[in-house]
Chain A
Amino acid sequence: MTDANALLLALAIPTVTMFLIAASGSRPNIRDGISVAASVATFAVVLRLLESVMDGARPSVTLIEVMPGLVINFAIEPLGMLFATVASGLWIVTAIYSIGYMRGAHEKKQTRFYICFALAIASALAIAFSGNLFTLFIFYEVLTISTYPLVAHKETPEARSGARVYLGILMTTSILFLLVAVIWTWNIAGTMEFRAGGILEGKIDPAYAPFLLAFFAFGIGKAALMPFHRWLPAAMVAPTPVSALLHAVAVVKAGVFTMLKVGTYIFGVGFLSKTGASDWLMWIAAASILIASIVALTKDDLKARLAYSTVSQLSYITLGMALANQMGVIGGSMHIVTHAVGKITLFMCAGAIYVAAHKTKVSELDGLGRKMPVTFICFTIAALSIIGLPPFAGAWSKWYLLLAAADEGQMALIAVLMLSSLLNVAYLLSISGRAFFAPARDRMAHSLDAAAAPSKGIEEAPLFCLIPICLTALGCVVVFFAVGGLYEYLLSIPILPEAAP
Chain B
Amino acid sequence: MMALIVSNLPALQVALPIIAAPFCLILGRGAWAWALATIVSFVTFAISLALFASVYDGSIISYHMGGWAPPIGIEYRVDIVNAFVLLIVSGVAALVLPYAYRSVADEIPADRQPIFYTAFLLCVAGLLGVTITGDAFNVFVFLEISSLSTYALVASGAWRNKRALTASYNYLIMGTVGATFFVIGIGMLYMITGTLNMADLAVRIADHGDSSTLHMGFVFILIGIGLKLAMFPLHLWLPNAYSFAPSAVTAFLAATATKVAVYVMLRFMFTVLGFDFEFQADTLKLVVFPLAVAAMFAASLVAIFQDDLKRMLAYSSIAQIGYILLGLAFLTHTGLLASIVHLFNHAVTKGALFMVAGCFVLSTGTSSISSLRGVGRDMPWTAAAFVAGGFSLIGLPLTVGFISKWYLVQAALELGWWPVALLIMASSLLAIIYVWRVVEAVYLQPAPEGITRKEAPLSMLVPAWILVGLSIWFGVSASLTTTAASRAADALIGQSQILWQE
A183 pairs with B421, CB closer than 8 A: yes
B425 pairs with A175, CB closer than 8 A: yes
A67 pairs with B396, CB closer than 8 A: no
Q: B459 an interface residue at 8 Å Cβ cutoff?
A: no
- The CA-CA distance from A171 to B425 in the complex, in Å, is 10
- The CA-CA distance from A214 to B173 in the complex, in Å, is 51
A154-195 interface bits toward B, Cβ cutoff 8 Å, 1 = contact, 0 = none: 010001100110011001100110011001101100000000
Q: How far is the CB of A328 from chain B (nearest CB, A)?
A: 29
8 Å CB contacts to A: which residues of B467-501? Answer: 475-479, 482-483, 486
Q: How far is the CB of B56 from chain A (nearest CB, A)?
A: 16
The residue from B425, B478, B482 contacting A176, defined by CB atoms under 8 A apart: B425
If the complex has contacts A175-B425, A176-B425, are A65 and B444 also in contact, measured as CB distance less than 8 A? no
- The CA-CA distance from A175 to B477 in the complex, in Å, is 21
- The CA-CA distance from A67 to B410 in the complex, in Å, is 13
Q: B71 an interface residue at 8 Å Cβ cutoff?
A: no
The residue from B405, B428, B476 contacting A64, defined by CB atoms under 8 A apart: B476
In the complex, chain B residues whose CB is within 8 Å of the CB of A184 = 413, 418
Q: A344 an interface residue at 8 Å Cβ cutoff?
A: no
If the complex has contacts A67-B478, A68-B479, are A183 and B406 also in contact, measured as CB distance less than 8 A? yes
Q: B397 an interface residue at 8 Å Cβ cutoff?
A: yes
Q: A145 an interface residue at 8 Å Cβ cutoff?
A: yes
B396 pairs with A141, CB closer than 8 A: yes
B396 pairs with A145, CB closer than 8 A: yes
A137 pairs with B397, CB closer than 8 A: yes
With CB as the reference atom, state the residue of chain B lying closest to A137: B397
With CB as the reference atom, state the residue of chain B lying closest to A186: B410
A176 pairs with B422, CB closer than 8 A: yes
Query: Looking at chain B, what size class is its interface with the partner chain?
Result: 20 to 34
With CB as the reference atom, state the residue of chain A lying closest to B475: A66
Q: A13 an interface residue at 8 Å Cβ cutoff?
A: no
If the complex has contacts A66-B478, A180-B422, are A160 and B444 also in contact, measured as CB distance less than 8 A? yes
The residue from A152, A164, A172, A180 contacting B429, defined by CB atoms under 8 A apart: A172
A142 pairs with B397, CB closer than 8 A: yes
A138 pairs with B421, CB closer than 8 A: no
The residue from B409, B432, B436, B444 contacting A179, defined by CB atoms under 8 A apart: B409
Most chain B Cβ neighbours within 10 Å, of A137, A163, A167, A175: A175
- The CA-CA distance from A67 to B409 in the complex, in Å, is 14
In the complex, chain B residues whose CB is within 8 Å of the CB of A168 = 432
B477 pairs with A64, CB closer than 8 A: yes
B425 pairs with A179, CB closer than 8 A: yes
- The CA-CA distance from A141 to B443 in the complex, in Å, is 20
- The CA-CA distance from A68 to B414 in the complex, in Å, is 17
- The CA-CA distance from A321 to B406 in the complex, in Å, is 28
Q: B403 an interface residue at 8 Å Cβ cutoff?
A: yes
Q: How far is the CB of A88 from chain B (nearest CB, A)?
A: 23
In the complex, chain A residues whose CB is within 8 Å of the CB of B425 = 175-176, 179-180
B478 pairs with A180, CB closer than 8 A: no
Most chain A Cβ neighbours within 10 Å, of B403, B405, B445, B476: B476
A141 pairs with B397, CB closer than 8 A: yes
In the complex, chain A residues whose CB is within 8 Å of the CB of B409 = 179-180, 183
Q: B440 an interface residue at 8 Å Cβ cutoff?
A: yes
Q: How far is the CB of A68 from chain B (nearest CB, A)?
A: 6
A183 pairs with B397, CB closer than 8 A: no
Q: How far is the CB of B66 from chain A (nearest CB, A)?
A: 42
B476 pairs with A66, CB closer than 8 A: yes
In the complex, chain B residues whose CB is within 8 Å of the CB of A180 = 409, 413, 418, 421-422, 425
In the complex, chain A residues whose CB is within 8 Å of the CB of B17 = none
A67 pairs with B397, CB closer than 8 A: no
With CB as the reference atom, state the residue of chain A lying closest to B477: A64
Q: B398 an interface residue at 8 Å Cβ cutoff?
A: yes
- The CA-CA distance from A160 to B486 in the complex, in Å, is 43
8 Å CB contacts to A: which residues of B131-171? Answer: none
Q: B26 an interface residue at 8 Å Cβ cutoff?
A: no
A residues at B contact (CB < 8 Å):
64-68, 137-138, 141-142, 145, 149, 152, 155, 159-160, 163-164, 167-168, 171-172, 175-176, 179-180, 183-184, 186-187
Report 14 cross-chain contacts, Cβ distance below 8 Å, ordered by A residue.
A68-B483, A138-B397, A138-B398, A142-B397, A142-B398, A145-B391, A145-B396, A149-B443, A152-B444, A155-B446, A160-B444, A171-B429, A175-B428, A183-B413
Apart from A67-B406, A138-B397, A152-B444, list 20 A-B contacts with CB within 8 A.
Answer: A65-B477, A66-B475, A66-B477, A67-B482, A141-B397, A142-B397, A145-B396, A159-B444, A160-B444, A167-B432, A168-B432, A176-B429, A179-B405, A180-B409, A180-B425, A183-B410, A183-B421, A184-B413, A186-B410, A187-B410
B residues at A contact (CB < 8 Å):
391, 395-398, 403, 405-406, 409-410, 413-414, 418, 421-422, 425-426, 428-429, 432, 436, 440, 443-446, 475-479, 482-483, 486
